[in-house]
Amino acid sequence: MVWACGWWEPDVSESSAFAPESFAGAQYTPFFYEPDYPFYGDESYSTNSSGRFDENVVQDWLTYLKRPESDSSVAYFLLKASAELIDSVYRLPASQLPASLQGMYLVQHRSNKKISSFFRFLTFAKANEPYAKGPDDYWGYDPVPARQLEASDIARIDSMTAEMKRSKDAFLLQRYYFQIVRAYYFAQDYDACLRFYEEHKSLLDESLFASRITAYSAGALYKQKKFGMANYRYSRIFAQHPEQRLVAEYSFHPQEEADWKESLALCRTGEERIGMWLLMGIYNDEQRAIAEIYRIDPASDKLDLLLSRLVNITEASSATDGADRQQRNEGKDGTFIAVNADRLAAAISLLQHITEAHNTHQPFAWHMALGYLYFLKGDARGATTQFDAAAKYTPAQSLGKDQLHMLRIMNLALTSVEMNKEQEQALLPELEWMQQRSADTARTRLRLSGAYSWIKGLLSERYRRKGNLLFAELYDQDLNFYNDAQRAQQMKNFIRSAQLSPYERYMRSIYPYSASDVAAVQAIVAAFSDRLPEAVNLMSEVPEAEQVTLPGNPFNNRIQDCHDCDHAAPQKVKYTRLDFLKKMQEMRANVDAGKDVYNNALLLGNAFYNMSVYGNARSFYQSAITGEINFAEDFASDFFRGLILSQERAAHYLQLALKAAANDEQRAKITYLLLKCKRNDYYTHGSETGAEEIPPIPYASLYAFSNTRYYQEVLSECGYFATFVKRKK
């Protein structure tokens, strides 16, 4: 038994066309809207908790000990050395230490006051480390029990407190302060944690390290359900220390309006209130946060982040989220996606008020965002007005220009309803721009993929409605297009044509298949339809049809189907798809001419059987267009599913073989192979009463051949038949 975890890499650009990177500050990147991770775009933001501050810690100690950055021993003792090793270095003479340590500068100069204090401090820090770091098994499913304050913890905290009182060094005082506050926190003595924090607040400064101490005090307040003060402290940490923003935002959790008002009342300046509202906007109410921050300072750059979240959350909202719903269009017509109409209306109302004042930090972004919301509503005229207004402001980033350009193209596609020559000519340069940008991997932050796919799907649907199925297929592929031989031939002619307009050449360039790919599908359809000469001619147009061999002999049969066995068996003759069809054509000619009908019809019956999903030659119907599909359920097309499931052609030729059989051994074999076809039909269509232990197949037809060797082989190998016989007896 294996326990395993499946994974996929989400791509937000598949359902979004609005990139926050096009205008929002890079310092807020982790807080762009991300539906799949706690933080935007990178799971490591949330999983690197134990090592988040390692670099800062090492650098602080290097500076304190006046050691160069090349001295790797500082990082070693801080991050890797065990508590036992630190204790040995602190207490034992150098001669008793491992040889690898004796040459280190810090070991050789332990008499130095600062270095001695370093190792003394580490004896405490390493003892605290196991509970501070948490369990090593990140993927573990077993709950970690809450840790209680034990006698050893109390003794260690008392020793650290005594050491702290003896020290006069500000750097060490702050480090002991941190260790003690943290120790009380993880020991769940939150009263002691907060009391000690308040008693020694004079040791706090504006450093990142000091903010970590405050973060533990905020955590203790939260555990005591003092949410107002806890969230206020998190907001100050978020505002003052970029390195702590992930921790602060992840810990920020207002519970009720009352504690939220308490947090706001603690703010001493407008900037502090903006910081509080920023976190609230990230947390769960971006619309309210935008309105409040705008009231305090319309030019605040914090609004850019919240604007991006407002738009991304709105476009991600489902039309089924609220009672007032837009009709969902599945990306084929109308707007880019179907969104919650109530949410969309509220967002538009808010942005209309702000954009009309023209007093934000980046008017470009606000006009562009409002235009996109109009687009999501299906209001192409309103979108155009806002996009034109946005164009009057030059964005700071080239990505911003590209973003606006892309949204204009989407809006143009929305208005190109008739798809006449004039509209095609207007769209052509824009579609070519999208194509070029899609191929430019350096522009990964522009969310092109979903937008470009939507445009192509929209145009495909509009051509389909006009009856131009060729153009519809070029934009958005549908396997059902190839059901019709005339349509498939039309596609081949188009691909090979030298007389195409620029617009048609563009469509050909985005079509993912070649003429030979189309010919392969035509050949497959012709073969399953028993149009073998036509299938041979079409397959001759496919270069790989003469290069790749079928994995098993398609003319063999077994009592028990086992395509893996057939693939592993030695083959005297290996058949390519073209060889296979030519041989079938030859056998068909012999049957039609009355030559050795039994053997030729039997082999043709086997061939059609093995071409089906039940046989050993499934690869025959696999192609660039039909896909690498082994199971009928995977085919989106009912037509192709019907082809590969059908037993009609196999049964037809087996019936001819039965009529031509010369003895009971031959009749027994053909009778059983026909029963397999009936069994497969049962598998395909099932029964009205559901699955049965023994399919209702006329196995009794084999009784007439109970005197044959083949009958005994079937009785031995076929469990269905053996059970049937036993019950009848």
Q: Can you tell me which residue has the tokens 């606000």?
A: 366
**For residue 138, with 0-12 CB atoms within 10 Å meaning exposed, 13-18 middle and 19 or more buried, which class applies?**
exposed
For residue 579, give the H/E element and its range.
Answer: helix 577-593
Residue 207 φ/ψ, nearest 5 degrees: -75, 160
The predicted-structure confidence for 336-378, as pLDDT tens digits, reads as follows 878 899 999 999 999 999 999 999 999 999 999 999 999 999 9
DSSP secondary structure code for residue 340 in this structure: B
Residue 397 φ/ψ, nearest 5 degrees: -110, 145
CA distance 83 to 156: 14
Averaged pLDDT for residues 206-226:
97
531 Cβ neighbours under 8 A, 6+ residues apart: none
Residue 336 φ/ψ, nearest 5 degrees: -60, -50
- Confidence grade of residue 120 (pLDDT, cut at 50, 70, 90): very high
Mean pLDDT (the chain, rounded): 90
pLDDT at 73: 95
pLDDT at 685: 80
Residue 598 contacts residue 662 (beta carbons within 8 Å): yes
Please give the C-alpha separations between residue 76 and each of 57, 87, 130, 717, in angstroms, as whole numbers.
12, 14, 17, 67
Residue 136 scores a pLDDT above 60 = no
CA distance 587 to 603: 8
pTM of the model: 0.85
Residue 53 scores a pLDDT above 70 = yes
- Confidence grade of residue 46 (pLDDT, cut at 50, 70, 90): low
**For residue 504, with 0-12 CB atoms within 10 Å meaning exposed, 13-18 middle and 19 or more buried, which class applies?**
middle
The predicted-structure confidence for 236-288, as pLDDT tens digits, reads as follows 999 999 999 999 999 999 999 999 999 999 999 999 999 999 999 999 999 99
CA distance 58 to 71: 10
Q: Can you tell me which residue has the tokens 């119907």?
A: 621
| N residues, the chain | 729
CA angle 545, 548, 551 (to 5 degrees): 120
Angle separating helix axes 638-645 and 515-528, nearest 10 degrees = 50
Q: Can you tell me which residue has the tokens 């017509």?
A: 333
Q: Can you tell me which residue has the tokens 């028993």?
A: 530
The residues with which 623 forms a beta bridge, in sequence order, are 627
Residue 626 contacts residue 521 (beta carbons within 8 Å): yes
Please give the C-alpha separations between residue 635 and each of 310, 525, 626, 640, in angstroms, as whole numbers.
39, 14, 8, 7
508 Cβ neighbours under 8 A, 6+ residues apart: 474, 494, 495, 500
Angle separating helix axes 421-439 and 502-510, nearest 10 degrees = 40
Residue 51 scores a pLDDT above 50 = yes
- Pull the structure tokens for residue 108: 């050789």
